[in-house]
Amino acid sequence: MKIGYYPGCALHGSSNDYEQSVRACLGVLGVDLAELDDWVCCGATAAHSVSRTLAVALPARNLAIAERDGLDQLLAPCPLCSMEFCASKRLLQNDPEAREKMSRIVEAPVTGATDVLNLVQVLQQVGADTLRERAVRELGEFRPACYYGCMLTRPRAVVAFDDPEHPTSMQEILAALGAEPVDWNAATECCGAGLTIADPETVAHLAGRVLADARSHGANCLVVACPMCHVNLDMKQQDAARAAGVPGDLPVYYLSDLVGLALGLSPSVLGVDRHLVPARTTADAGPGATAGKRGE
C-alpha cells in the first residue's frame, strides 16, 4: 500500500514525535509513505485571514505535486492540513473557473483528483481484521478518551468523515485491539488550538475542561490524532490541570502510538518516551512500563 504523504510544518517541527510515531506504526503495517517532493505550507493557521486565493492556492500546489507524481491518495496527519486540502480539492472539482485559475497560479495542472486522508482513515483502510492479526500485545488495560477536537471531523460538508458531533472511528480501531474506550462528553470540544501562544489562559481553561471530563468518565489516558491537540493537552497539561483543579498526570497518546504498541513497537521507536507527561505503555503500571504480550 503506497500513498502520498504530506507532513506539513508541525510534523517537521514542534510535533516531529507525531511523524516518528506515524512512520513507525504505518511502516509495520506495510504502508509506504511517499513524501511530496518540494511541498509547501498549506497556510492552515493564517492564509484564510490574509487572502482567500492564497488559502486555496497553497494546498492546491501540493495537490498538483501529488497528481504529477501519480498519487491517488494523500495522507495529511494534521487535521488542519487535511481540512484545508479537502476544501481546496472540493473547490477544484466543482468550479472549472477556479480550477483553471489555480492551475495558472501554481504553474501546474491540478484537478483535485487525489483523495485526501487523515490518519484514522488510513488505519480504517488497513482494516480492523488486519490490525487484530498483526497485533502482538493486548490493549485491554487502556481506557482511552478518544479526543477528536474541533477539526478532525469538521466542517461536515468539507471533511465528510465520521459523525462531526458523535464520532466513533478511533474508538472502533482501539476496541479492535482490545482497548476499552470510555464514553465521555468532550470528544469534539476545542482545546484552544493555535491560541496556545497568543492566549494561554484561554487554552488552559479549554484544555482543562477536556482533561477534567476525561477523568470524570474513567479514562486513564487521552488519544489524539492532531499535533496541536497534543501540544495543548500534553505540553501544556500542567497549566490546564491547574485551571481545572485536577491532577496533571494523564498520559496523552497519538492514535498511532497505541496502535504501534499493540503491533509490538517500543515506546522509544514510537517517540512515546518524548512526551512531557510520563506515558504508560500499560495502564496500571508505572510510567514507562512495558505492555504485556498477548495472553500474559
Three-state DSSP at 224 gives strand
Predicted confidence at residue 292, as pLDDT, reads 35
Q: What is the pLDDT of residue 284?
A: 40
Max Cα-Cα span within the chain = 61
Nearest of 273, 215, 45, 83 to residue 207 by alpha carbon: 215
pLDDT of residue 50: 86
pLDDT by position in tens, the chain (length 296): 899 999 999 999 989 999 999 999 999 999 999 999 999 999 987 787 789 999 999 999 999 999 999 999 999 999 999 999 999 999 999 999 999 999 999 999 999 999 999 999 999 999 999 999 999 999 999 999 999 999 999 999 999 889 999 999 999 999 999 999 999 999 999 999 878 888 999 999 999 999 999 999 999 999 999 999 999 999 999 999 999 999 999 999 999 999 999 999 999 999 999 999 998 755 443 333 333 333 33
Burial 164-176 (b: 16+ CB within 10 A, else e): beebebbbbbbbb
What pLDDT score does 294 carry? 32
Integer Cα distance of 257 and 275 in angstroms? 11
pLDDT at 287: 33
Residue 116 is predicted with a pLDDT of 98
Q: Domains along the chain?
A: 2-117 (1.20.1050.140), 130-274 (3.40.50.11810)
In this structure, the number of other CB atoms found within 10 A of the CB of residue 203 comes to 25
Tell me the three cell numbers of residue 55.
488559502
